Structure 1
């Protein structure tokens, strides 16, 4: 699990790179394949990254859509220092940009836990990951083999994907974490109108690359065979029921041959109808012509040192959009840049203590508890409550609701106290000494006290007269006035002419 997360630090630039590289394995004498595969073996390093988005609205965009566009454009992510320790521990410090705010955060992950904290939080949050490796192992997945499969896939794609029209290699001297480094800069560009031809060329190439295709299928077999074997041992299926006829699944050579031939047949069949299918797609989805036009452009720069390690990457993607009513955007852009240093060095990730931290994997962690873990004056508190509305609630109760079982008497609706209180994120406790039900509002902290048979309740210490004393039904549920309870928990109540009740808390 940790290895998977650690390797994703380069995921966006890496995928973008695979989209535009490489035809042959060498460009201007530069071995692309070795550079990409070499980074998979890095066990320790430090890195930084920035990421931003930009949506360009169409003319006449609605105020609501414009608000969403402004929100998208305000978002950014900056990681000032990510550390990958040799034992797999990972830490990162950075900030999130949101509506002209800059919100610092930190995270740490080891074998047991993912821990993170954000500015304004009273305690960190954590998510237990202990046992995830064991879970994968139980189903036969070996995460160490995932890296081998990644290498095979990289090699296969780089070897067979045709070169785009713009690709170049130049020697440069660039600053990496404040130090000048002599590197090779690989620059590539691809436009949307090139993509169909690149994909077709890729399909043609892999159809002919019997050796590479077979090697990739063999790697996939090595990765998945233990999973299928484990399924069979658990009685989940018969090894002969996976479409190979009389060929035993244990016979790797025979199975790989069958899979390769089937995959090649599918690729060849696709090539036969490729142009016609593309024309049909353009006719049925004319907006696609705008997306796959020269206005869509991906540009990638990678900087590789003499040890064939990627030290810097810049990715700039702009996707042209049709600007329709359903998608009122002219374009959508992503920009990412990263750099890496101290490769293979003595790196120690920065731990974060879990003492007092909130377990976000718990089913009992309510939105109110999450909100109340932040200083009410902090930016995150305001964002969670006002912008994201994590504590907003809307409850609809039918006249004959089979969950709440409302009781109407003298134009007053009574409801099981616990059901409604807990659905509004309040806690309900029984005070044995005073023989009272204590309800505590999870968002605002108000305290309500009810006694069975009492015509009065206490709301924040103030006595409030009840229309009817609290009563208990035949199932042991304590009933109180719905409106009184809801409004005491900062919700509003609306009853329509048919008796449907809507309870709303903002």
Structure 2
């Protein structure tokens, strides 16, 4: 019996590459759309500006009983707009961008980001200092993990020895090979128009071909079905694509370390399958997957909700401006869906319609571009430090009158600390003692609040210091006498050790630390305790 070593992995690789190609069609109006798409995938550098906008038309009746803070948050998210005013892509590893993100009534923040192989630096409006991600350190950690396996270590050395520039022309050739099957099989979308126009691109008048496409839900569905059918019918093209990719990689054996060894063809193995046999087996697998996809699409059409979802209420509009070199210089895209009364009632959704809009224009395509370099200054904060902070500590890094501060503190509740536990928890459950006093594990609550605990085993005394409120509580196991910031107090229940865990009366502890406490009965005798504070 012949071995089937790498055909499955090759099949998945090629199928994934095929799915990269989202749209395409035959030449219309003198524009070769297949080549346009291939060129778009070959863009290595360039400058551009872009916008992405999400709009929700709210269902006011559904929002009437919503809490005020939740309502304000939803209104803010009902209109989100990302504007990139300057994007510079130098190559696959170096880029920079400037822009602004706005919410609701146009409140928002500006930002600047610079990326290199070693660093990512972000300067956010409202932040007192820039933030940096140490990409080199992250890579080093990954390598240390890889080096735990000697064989993987050898593979990593092979990868590092590769000339990355040598990979680019091979990948460009691979795009052409895969495109012969994945792109050329795409049917023409309906309502397609092509007209010559004169447009401004970055302030420069440019002669372009304007491609317009407008499809509703049923038309989109039929187009997708036609594409799947075309792929399924082109067995010859499928095998030619896979064979071309395999031969290309075999002709560039030095690049194989970039692929998982499970994808590499077996060499020197007794009775190993030939390339033609491997390709035929892989094609069989892909054909089975396409056939299964067709069956799933048929079942989808039989679903009761199909006509509601795939209807005229769903609409996609595409505007694309192509230059003489078949590069996309400008584009606009809009996808919208409007819910009917039945859907809004059944789904209980807080919006009536949703619209996604994007626009882009680019210049200096594949030209010489110098991205802004990331600069790390003395006041730059590593995001690892930020991640290790409690919310009340991290919020201090933002200006109190800034949008970002308000968003993090008042909308996203970054400084909110919540401890939850259940009465039947296996580990350190909250306990209700006689007198209906709730006692809780001290360290668990302290850890939630970021408080420090020191224990003296000789005196069995415990000192808790809460930096957020600058509060110090001194107590002892077996005693109800405590001192709070030097003042003596008596608690309604002594500090008690249960299974080597110190328990304290919950209400007096959390009120001292500026928190609230609440029991909620979920069902029968199953209860949840919540201790919470906003700093």
TM-score normalised to structure 2 length: 0.73
Alignment partner, residue 8 of structure 1: none
More deviation in 363-372 or 187-196?
363-372
In structure 1, the residue corresponding to 2:187 is in which secondary structure? coil
1:291 aligns with 2:294: no
**CA-atom RMSD in angstroms:** 4.3
Q: Offset of 1:326 from its aligned partner?
A: 0.9
Report Cα offsets for 1:214-244 as digits up to 9, x if no partner.
34445776699868863599xxxx989xxxx
Alignment partner, residue 473 of structure 2: 450
Report 1:30-429 matches (<5 A).
30-57=31-58, 60-63=61-64, 64=66, 70-86=75-91, 88-100=93-105, 101-130=107-136, 132=139, 152-218=177-243, 230=261, 248=272, 251-267=274-290, 278=298, 280-286=299-305, 288-322=306-340, 323-324=343-344, 325-326=346-347, 328=349, 329-343=351-365, 344-353=367-376, 355=378, 356-360=380-384, 364-399=388-423, 401-404=425-428, 411=435, 413-424=438-449, 426-428=450-452
CA distance in 1, matches of 2:19, 2:86: 22
Q: Offset of 1:253 from its aligned partner?
A: 3.2
In structure 2, the residue corresponding to 1:160 is in which secondary structure? coil
1:374–1:54 Cα change, 3 Å: same
CA distance in 1, matches of 2:176, 2:443: 56
Question: May I ask how many residue pairs the two structures share in their alignment?
Answer: 467
CA distance in 2, matches of 1:205, 1:70: 44
In structure 2, the residue corresponding to 1:163 is in which secondary structure? coil
1:60–1:86 Cα change, 3 Å: closer
Unaligned runs of 5+ in 1: 1-14, 241-245
1:59–1:148 Cα change, 3 Å: farther
CA distance in 1, matches of 2:235, 2:19: 26
CA distance in 2, matches of 1:420, 1:327: 37
1:53–1:474 Cα change, 3 Å: closer
CA distance in 1, matches of 2:218, 2:528: 55
Q: Offset of 1:49 from its aligned partner?
A: 0.8
CA distance in 2, matches of 1:179, 1:468: 78
CA distance in 1, matches of 2:354, 2:520: 44
| C-alpha contact (below 8 Å) 1:16/1:300 kept by paired residues | no
CA distance in 1, matches of 2:504, 2:470: 15
CA distance in 1, matches of 2:172, 2:455: 57
1:87–1:475 Cα change, 3 Å: same
Report Cα offsets for 1:120-148 as digits up to 9, x if no partner.
11233343433559679759999967776
Alignment partner, residue 21 of structure 1: 24
CA distance in 2, matches of 1:358, 1:91: 19
Report Cα offsets for 1:188-230 as digits up to 9, x if no partner.
2222111232223223322343453234445776699868863
Report 1:429-448 matches (<5 A).
430=454, 437=463, 439-441=465-467, 445-448=468-471
